[in-house]
């Protein structure tokens, strides 16, 4: 597989872009080598600028659910673009998109659109602090909620990958009110809430973790978290930026019935353009400007293109409800990979929900970030490069989840498993 053009592009990018990328995990820092420079994508496949095709399990880190360049969405965006790119004024589709999201997530009584998950999480926490009059927030180790200062403490894939527990440039004073608990440990949460009685504004959580690999909540964990938060007067913020409209029509809250006070969405709701949202209980949301004293604004918030792209995407998802099919495919992949690994004596645990999945090279089911970090990262790097060389594009980090789209077919999964077996064979031969 010739990647000369990609290699030259990486050199040129490095001259002008920091690290040659605009988001750290893309740099391949966790796996070594140069990143692919992609030229186009169609359906389940992406193509690099050398013309090599790859089956894509990155899907823009979960943002694309209908495959690359879905014709109906692209056509809609092109049409809307002809009427103007951005106005800085209300448009009809913003309301339609909010209504559409509400039909799936009725707990989002009032919404606000922003441009990124980072902004949405940051604003949700500001609201929670204003609403409760409390300063402290709790997050789980390994969960990622964007790169706002107050959240850059043990923050998932990018941070874990680079071994930075908290970023430089974040004053201690800014994170002194950020408390950490392990994921999947309600006893630890109970203790922290009791220790800081009356001080905790909110707990923010990924209801299924996707930013530290794929980590499923234990049975009853999310319900226990909700109960503890309400006992202690802290708000529960469900960060469904990754899981929203990917694991189900709606999000994890529609699967578990654990309804957070505030919900954060992103990725899929923009259909591939920059769009995110926060929403939830009306009495909390009404504290946002212009109704209340909590400030938040954005020049391009709810811009016509991103809104049209998201609305068209959700309309298609509502009509086709592909989640059972997505779940069957990810299960086929994770079950198949687990069986093959067992056959070859390679420690692997894999899990999936709807259109997202994850695998760790470690023998036992992973429940928290410590266990994720204890997985075999060296083996992951070999796996990653072996699969890439055979035309399968996984995320370049052992701490990212994997994603499929409605364009992925059973034959794609089966050919992935065949190539995985080839990797296991070479592994056996070289040991
Ligand atoms: C991706 C992600 C974010 C950040 O969203 P951006 O749009 O990248 O700022 C926040 N929370 C979760 C759970 C995410 O997966």
> Is 144 part of the annotated catalytic residue set?
yes
Which CATH number is associated with domain 4-69+322-430? 3.90.1150.10
pLDDT, one tens digit for every residue, the chain (431 residues)? 899 999 999 999 999 999 999 999 999 999 999 999 999 999 999 999 999 999 999 999 999 999 999 999 999 999 999 999 999 999 999 999 999 999 999 999 999 999 999 999 999 999 999 999 999 999 999 999 999 988 887 665 555 444 344 688 888 888 889 999 999 999 999 999 999 999 999 999 999 999 999 999 999 999 999 999 999 999 999 999 999 999 999 999 999 999 999 999 999 999 999 999 999 999 999 999 999 999 999 999 999 999 999 999 999 999 999 999 999 999 999 999 999 999 999 999 999 999 999 999 999 999 999 999 999 999 999 999 999 999 999 999 999 999 999 999 999 999 999 999 999 999 999 87
Is residue 211 in contact with ligand 1, taking CB distance under 6 Å? yes
Is residue 117 in contact with ligand 1, taking CB distance under 6 Å? yes
> Is 239 part of the annotated catalytic residue set?
yes
- List, in order, residues 6 or more apart from 61 with CB less than 8 Å away: 25, 242, 267, 395, 400, 403
How many residues belong to the chain?
Answer: 431
* Stated pTM of the model: 0.96
Mutational test site, ligand 1, from 140, 208, 267, 276, max ligand atoms within 8 Å of CB = 267
* Ligand 1 centroid – CA 64 distance (Å): 14
Domain spans, the chain: 4-69+322-430, 71-320
* Ligand 1 centroid – CA 403 distance (Å): 15
Is residue 121 in contact with ligand 1, taking CB distance under 6 Å? yes
- Give the distance, in angstroms, between the CA of residue 347 and the centroid of all CA atoms in the same chain: 25
Report which protein residue has its CA nearest ligand 1's atom 6. 117
Torsions phi, psi for 218 (to 5 deg): -65, 155
Which run of H or of E encompasses 402? Answer: strand 402-403
3-state secondary structure (DSSP) of residue 396: coil
Catalytic one of 100, 136, 139, 267: 267
Name all contacts of 377-382 with Cβ < 8 Å and 24+ positions apart: 377/30, 379/346, 380/31, 381/30, 381/31, 381/32, 382/423, 382/427
Is residue 145 in contact with ligand 1, taking CB distance under 6 Å? yes
Is residue 206 in contact with ligand 1, taking CB distance under 6 Å? yes
Is residue 243 in contact with ligand 1, taking CB distance under 6 Å? no
pLDDT at 96: 98
Pick the CATH number of 71-320 from 1.10.3720.10, 3.40.50.300, 3.40.640.10, 3.40.50.150: 3.40.640.10
How far is 368 from 370, CA to CA, in rounded Å?
Answer: 6
136-140 and 200-205 beta bridge pairing? parallel
3-state secondary structure (DSSP) of residue 163: coil
8 A C-beta contact, residue 278 and residue 264: yes
- Give the distance, in angstroms, between the CA of residue 343 and the centroid of all CA atoms in the same chain: 31
How far is 352 from 335, CA to CA, in rounded Å?
Answer: 9
Interior angle at CA 200, CA 196 and CA 201, nearest 5: 170
How far is 251 from 260, CA to CA, in rounded Å?
Answer: 11
- List, in order, residues 6 or more apart from 46 with CB less than 8 Å away: 36, 38, 40, 53, 54, 56, 58, 68, 393
- Which one, of 350, 354, 335, lies nearest residue 405 by Cα? 354
């Amino acid at each position: 597989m010739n990647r000369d053009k990609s290699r030259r592009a990486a050199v040129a990018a490095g001259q002008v872009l920091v690290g040659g990328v605009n988001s750290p995990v893309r740099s391949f820092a966790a796996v070594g080598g140069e990143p692919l420079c992609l030229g186009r994508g169609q359906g389940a496949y992406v193509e690099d600028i050398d013309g090599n095709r790859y089956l894509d399990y990155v899907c823009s880190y979960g943002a694309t659910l209908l495959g690359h360049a879905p014709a109906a969405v692209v056509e809609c965006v092109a049409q809307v673009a002809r009427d103007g790119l951005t106005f800085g004024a209300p448009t009809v589709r913003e309301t339609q998109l909010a209504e559409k999201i509400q039909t799936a997530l009725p707990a989002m009584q009032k919404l606000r659109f922003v441009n990124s998950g980072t902004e949405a999480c940051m604003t949700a926490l500001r609201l929670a602090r204003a609403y409760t009059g409390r300063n402290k927030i709790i997050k789980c180790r390994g969960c990622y909620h964007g790169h706002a200062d107050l959240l850059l403490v043990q923050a998932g894939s990018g941070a874990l990958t680079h071994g930075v527990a908290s970023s430089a440039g974040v004053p201690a004073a800014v994170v002194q009110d950020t408390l950490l608990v392990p994921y999947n440990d309600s006893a630890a949460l109970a203790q922290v809430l009791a220790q800081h009685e009356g001080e905790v504004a909110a707990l923010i959580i990924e209801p299924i973790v996707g930013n530290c690999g794929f980590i499923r909540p234990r049975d009853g964990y999310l319900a226990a978290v909700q109960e503890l938060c309400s006992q202690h007067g802290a708000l529960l913020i469900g960060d469904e930026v990754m899981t929203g409209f990917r694991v189900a029509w709606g999000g994890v809250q529609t699967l578990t019935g654990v309804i957070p006070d505030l919900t954060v969405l992103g990725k899929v709701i923009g259909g591939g353009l920059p769009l995110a949202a926060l929403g939830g209980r009306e009495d909390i949301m009404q504290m946002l400007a212009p109704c209340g004293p909590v400030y938040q604004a954005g020049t391009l918030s709810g811009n016509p293109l991103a809104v049209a792209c998201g609305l068209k995407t959700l309309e298609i998802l509502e009509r086709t409800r592909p989640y059972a099919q997505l779940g069957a495919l990810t299960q086929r992949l994770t079950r198949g990979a687990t069986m093959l690994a067992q056959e070859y004596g390679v420690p692997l645990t894999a899990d999936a929900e709807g259109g997202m999945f994850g695998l760790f090279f470690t023998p036992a089911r992973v429940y928290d970030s410590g266990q994720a970090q204890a997985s075999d990262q060296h083996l992951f790097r070999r796996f990653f490069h072996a699969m890439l060389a055979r035309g399968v594009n996984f995320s370049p980090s052992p701490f990212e989840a994997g994603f499929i789209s409605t364009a992925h077919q059973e034959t794609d999964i089966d050919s992935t498993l065949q190539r995985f077996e080839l990797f296991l064979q070479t592994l056996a031969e070289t040991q």
